[in-house]
Structure 1
Amino acid sequence: MADFAPTELLALFQRAQAAFTDRVDAVKPEQWDDEALPGWTVADLVAHLVTEALWAPPLLAGEPYIDGRFPDDTSDLLGDDPLTGWETAADGALAAFAQDRALLHTVHLQRGPTSAAEYIEELTADLTVHSWDLARATDGDTELDPALVTAALVVADRLPVDGVPGLFDPPLDVPRTASPQARLLGRYGRRG
């Protein structure tokens, strides 16, 4: 997403949120406890993205990352209606990023100061990859938006070559001739 104007970054983020929302909306009641990723249920995956969305407003307001700020309990994050829980958090994040000059700020993540533009790029990539995770876990549409894949590949190329322990698996060996989506998923340790 390098060299994207702030309006383009915001539009990509909104598209990624919409794609994830469509997949959350398609989750059947009996699928919430299904495995989405090793050690994570479908509900855990959605709750992870709810937490990420909840972080955007305070971080963009200049507040520092504080471990434990939001509940760890999935049911506390998703409530009785996971789609509404996700949409409420996503709307708050989008509103925070849409504020005048928000993408020119510096946010204070757990790893340290980061530009808000880089932060929205990373969130967009995370939403894109997790949209695939959610669709795969629920037998949904695993085809990702090509523009989001292209943008997320820029972020994926910045990941350490060995992955990030606890966050991203080491990349898989994917031929350079593979589709952009397969290369993206492979970079995040997933077989597409």
Structure 2
Amino acid sequence: MAIDTREAYRRALDHFGALVHQIKPEHWGNQTPCVDWDVRALVNHVVGESRWASQLLAGRTVADVGDAFDGDLLGDDPVKAFDISATAAAQAVGGERSLTRVVHLSFGDVPGEEYVTELFADALIHTWDLARAIGADERLDPELVEACAIWSAYAKEGGDRQAAAAGEHRQAASDADPQARLLASWGRRG
């Protein structure tokens, strides 16, 4: 990845957060491009990922955390819940050892850099999902799109588990811009 993985994640999460702050009360029930998720469920997912990141990058295991992050994590103030979780995740990812430590996931141990890269890709693609759902500007940061496309191609080639979660690959037009190609590879129609 041409950009530092930690920086890519922070920027993607910041862009997602900027959109969270644009959500109006009537947006929370809007459908997103993610099957079965409305805006609230999508934000809840990203909050959950952020809360997991802060724990897993601190060395805890899935068993240690248990079901603490199941269910509704947004409560009565979804924006505040997002902000708190994003701050904790960004601090954990920005830590000196975040890329070199071993992260204990449900299926096994992975290098921290792999885990943070997956977090980055998830945050970036869900930024587009959220923008689409609330009618905001859908243009993603071109540098992050490029970094994600490189990683996605590598991950899909190797049968990475994140690639399996990306949705059915759609063929983008050969003249499509890089963002459209990336979104198509993640099963989105831009």
Normalising to structure 2: TM-score of the pair? Answer: 0.89
Q: Which residue of 2 aligns with 1:57?
A: 54
Question: Is 1:109 the counterpart of 2:105 in the alignment?
Answer: yes
Structure 2 distance, partners of 1:92, 1:21, is 13
| Most deviating of 172-181 and 19-28 | 172-181
User: Unpaired runs of 5+ in structure 1?
Assistant: none
Structure 2 distance, partners of 1:127, 1:43, is 15
Note the C-alpha offset of 1:161.
9.3
Question: Is 1:175 the counterpart of 2:185 in the alignment?
Answer: no
Q: Which residue of 2 aligns with 1:184?
A: 182
SS of the equivalent of 1:140 reads coil
4+ residue runs of structure 1 moved beyond 3 angstroms? 160-163
SS of the equivalent of 2:99 reads helix
The 5-angstrom pairing of residues 13-52 of structure 1 reads: 13-36=9-32, 37-52=34-49
| Most deviating of 65-74 and 19-28 | 65-74
Structure 2 distance, partners of 1:127, 1:133, is 10
Structure 1 distance, partners of 2:91, 2:120, is 15
Structure 2 distance, partners of 1:27, 1:95, is 25
Count residues with an aligned counterpart: 184
Paired residue for 1:93, among 89, 94, 118? Answer: 89
Letter in 1 for 2:57: L
Structure 2 distance, partners of 1:40, 1:50, is 14
The percentage of counterpart residues that share the same residue type is 38
Letter in 2 for 1:95: Q
Letter in 2 for 1:58: Q
Normalising to structure 1: TM-score of the pair? Answer: 0.88
Q: CA RMSD in A?
A: 1.9
